[in-house]
Structure 1
Amino acid sequence: MADYTCYYLVGRDDGKHVTKSGDYVLRFDSARALMGLIADHLPPGPRRDSLMVRPFVITLLPQFGPGLLKQPEAVRARKMELAAPLIAAYWTPGLARRLKVNERLRLTCVANDRLDLLLDVVRFVKAKSEPALVREERPARLYLAYPHFRDGSGLPDPAYEVTVTEWIGGRRIEPPEPKSFLSLVRRAVRGIRRRALRAVRSGRVRGGRTGTRTRA
């Protein structure tokens, strides 16, 4: 416990005091302060990325949720401006892969300054629509086809990739497990054996046909 009072909250009768509700600009100030504090104590890398999840998801991301659809164009544009330097300074691929697809996708839209695409994604999320699952092999990847997936809009595939546990329509969606080095070696050896066996069989057939022609 603290030795002295370090925070003192006085509630108003209407409950509308800045420490609880807060103007959106103050939310960006809060995110900036926390991100800066983390960056001051940790160099770029996995540990910093892990701690950056909170200010990005808890503080910054709600500014680009369903409420954005009801806000004036000027407010939307201002939010994009306020987010831009934070994204430029602290948004990394390692941090992005720690987020769910709908979280990462919205922040990717912000990073790319694509408010138009962001609004489409927010509408999709607000409607509680379910994205289709797109599976790929070699390497194994799983994507959630939120709006603008591979439609030429410029949003990259990694923004849609499942990298953490997701829940879609009550279903638990897990990212594909990476193949171990040993399993890759075993697969390669099996492939070599199959090709060698086909080559041997092919040689026997050709040899048999040649012998028949000689006897004739």
Structure 2
Amino acid sequence: MTLTRAARDPASGWRAGQISPPNERGTVMPNPRKLTTMFSAAMVAVALTITPALGASAATNPPYVTKTEFGQLKFGMTRSAVASLFGTSGRTYAENEDYILKEYRIAYGKRSYSVDLTFWVDDRGVYRMVDYSAIWTYKPNRTQDPATKTEYSKIKLGHSLAQVRATIGSAGTIWFDNHADLESQEDLHIKSFLWPVSYNSYGEVQITFERNASGTYVVTDKWAFWS
């Protein structure tokens, strides 16, 4: 069964598996393999009170998607299989004869914090999922240990997620999670985390990781906003 991959949302310019979805102000984020462009100060200042219930199931938390449900997604799932898992059919925001782009609200309930899925039609005319991503938040949990400039300077490309957490002394807050079934290379898995900084209440450190061939998430980009 052949799947056509790498959809593009004509409204935003988002290319599935290559460019992350637009932020809540409509700005398309850079290529996740080369996240070298700084976040805008506007994104840094976005505030949201995060609520629990991320581990709830679709049956107890409709019509929202939880992190547990997101972790159960698999490439090749149909729209009906996803709807059964999530407890909702989501919202279609772009489509043509080849692909369908769908958005599902997450447990926080804020429109711009969402799970986005790309379904491409296979050679039997069935739409199957080839890309899924989530924006969980735009700010770090500020109750955890903050990152300092000294700690930030010690973090190098290729360091593992475990190494980074040990260096900073806290787990970080995942804000972006992307999984793409790419046609020309191994599947792309990217996670991006945020840490608060000790210098002010708006600063943050963002570190992006990509899963390597051995299954370890390693640093591919880092960025800091200190003041």
TM-score of the two chains, using structure 2 as the length reference: 0.25
Q: Which has the higher contact order (CA 8 A, sep 6+)?
A: 2
Q: Which has more strand, going by share of residues?
A: 2
TM-score of the two chains, using structure 1 as the length reference: 0.26
Q: Which has more helix, going by share of residues?
A: 1
